[in-house]
Amino acid sequence: MVQTSLLLLLALLGLSLPVAAALMILALGLDQIFTPIPLYLAIGEIVWSASSNFLLVSVPLFVLLGEILLRSGIADRLYGSMSHWLGWLPGGLMHANIGASMAFAATSGSSVATAATIGTVATPLLDRYRYGERLFLGSLAAGGTLGILIPPSINLIIYGWLTETSVPQLYLAGFLPGLALGLIFMATIALACRIVPAWRGVAPPSDWASRLASLPGLISPFLIFVIVIGSIYAGFATPTESAALGVVAALVLAAFHKRLSVPMLVQAIDGTMRTTGMIMLIVVAAWFLNFVLSAIGLVNALNDFITGLGLGPGGMLLAVIVFYLVLGCFMEPLPMMIVTVPVLTPVVVQAGFDPVWFGILIVLLCETAMITPPVGVNLFVVQGVRRHGSIQDVMLGVLPFIASLLIMIGLIVVQPDLVLWLPRVLGGP
């Protein structure tokens, strides 16, 4: 059963059917093959329960929040401030790319929004300071991936929904790995520039007066962060409500920066709905597939199958990581997560791993998937804002950062407390 399902899934996806259609067809097919009960009669009810789920309301709201922030003008000031504070490091503005991505990630739940926003501000500066172009582009694509690790995070919300894990706990768990990964990215840049001095470029001019003067640029993102994340831990908003507050706060900030207008809002809505339509069709199809999979007892079968392999917990975890790394080269992270997490998480948890910790591992693997060629959404985003040259530059430039991500994954495997310490100490609702 496990083999049939997996082969069917890979065949349907490999034939380049749209992911949502592949999932739905797989579900209907497995229903035909493995059950005497016509499960498809429940499609309407099941699709409605997924479509009208309150936690999932936060997904389009976070996409909308990102689309508004992208057009609100807060990124320019944020980036300006980061370049004054971090530009003196070897690798100059590349550190500002990472720093600004980290700060923006704390307001945005999407990596695409983060890479697009910081990329739009940063790419015009590329030529002026003569950095190694590829590494510079790589730092934008990689920095953008922090969007889903540092809370808020659309991927953590979907993981929480799929596995019934507390989203506030997952958010807390994402903090330290988010900071650590940002620092590892910066160390990677410094190291690369030490090895190849030609990539170093010229440090942008700065002094303490302009550094201090640039600080107000950090206020807007900090406010959004406090509203979105603070409201959850202060106990007066659920993750979805906090997303709604974030949207309203972003509208107010955009108005404050004189960027709010009807055409701007329409653009933000169009971008949001394009992504929402894509995600929700997959969510709906995956939810029905999960229903079929649990009805035919696939999770148990998979459990037996993996136990039968005699890998032990460590070997199994390694297999899971390799599986995601390979899959991530070809699949978008969110569809990849929605398809695999409901089936794999129970097996991994059964083997003794913490579901919150596994959520962070999955997000790190999603981040890797965003930048591993040939299919990596952030590679496309960065190439998209750059608008010239070949995408190969981005693919090559991102390689050192893929190594950084692998190091980070190794760190949380060896030291799970990096993830679990904060949720344990702070508890959370």
Partner 1 sequence: MAKLARMISAVSLWMSRAGGAMLLLAAVLISFEILTRKLLHLPFNVGTELSTYALAVGATWSFAYALLQRAHVRIDVLQKLLPPAVRSALDLAAMLSLATVALVLAWHIAGTLATSISLGARENTPLATPLALPQGLWLVGMIWFALVAVEQSVRVLLAFAAGDHAGVARLSAAAGVEEELDEALDDVARRLGRTG
Residues in contact with partner 1 by CB under 8 A are 13-22, 24-25, 28, 40-41, 43-45, 47-48, 51-54, 56-57, 60-61, 64, 231, 236-237, 240-241, 243-245, 247-248, 263, 265-266, 269-270, 272-278, 280-282, 284-285, 330-332, 335, 374-375
Measured from the CB atom, is 281 or 391 closer to partner 1?
Answer: 281
Closest approach of Cβ 48 to partner 1, in Å?
A: 6
Q: Which two tokens stand for residue 263?
A: 């055409």
Measured from the CB atom, is 32 or 51 closer to partner 1?
Answer: 51
From CA 172, how far away is CA 19, in angstroms rounded? 31
Measured from the CB atom, is 197 or 263 closer to partner 1?
Answer: 263
Closest approach of Cβ 133 to partner 1, in Å?
A: 26
Per-residue CA distances from 7 to 10, 32, 194, 347 (Å): 5, 16, 47, 19
Q: Are 247 and 61 in contact (CB under 8 A)?
A: yes
Closest approach of Cβ 110 to partner 1, in Å?
A: 15
Closest approach of Cβ 196 to partner 1, in Å?
A: 31
Closest approach of Cβ 368 to partner 1, in Å?
A: 17
Q: Rg of the chain over CA atoms, in angstroms?
A: 22
Query: CB-based contacts of 386: which residues, under 8 Å, 6+ apart?
Result: 119, 123, 137, 394
Which residue has tokens 């339509």?
Answer: 277
Closest approach of Cβ 147 to partner 1, in Å?
A: 18
Closest approach of Cβ 427 to partner 1, in Å?
A: 22
**Helix residue ranges per DSSP H, 132-166:** 133-145, 154-163
Measured from the CB atom, is 23 or 186 closer to partner 1?
Answer: 23
Closest approach of Cβ 320 to partner 1, in Å?
A: 20
In the three-class reduction of DSSP (H, G, I as helix; E, B as strand; rest coil), residue 130 is classed as: coil
Measured from the CB atom, is 68 or 173 closer to partner 1?
Answer: 68
From CA 397, how far away is CA 137, in angstroms rounded? 6
Measured from the CB atom, is 192 or 232 closer to partner 1?
Answer: 232
Q: Which two tokens stand for residue 383?
A: 């190439």
Measured from the CB atom, is 61 or 140 closer to partner 1?
Answer: 61
Measured from the CB atom, is 19 or 316 closer to partner 1?
Answer: 19
DSSP labels for 168-210? HHHHHHHHHHHHHHHHHHHHHHHHHHHHSGGG---PPP--HHH
From CA 276, how far away is CA 72, in angstroms rounded? 21
Closest approach of Cβ 380 to partner 1, in Å?
A: 12
From CA 75, how far away is CA 256, in angstroms rounded? 14
355-371 and 167-195 helices, crossing angle to 10°: 40
From CA 369, how far away is CA 60, in angstroms rounded? 22
Measured from the CB atom, is 247 or 382 closer to partner 1?
Answer: 247
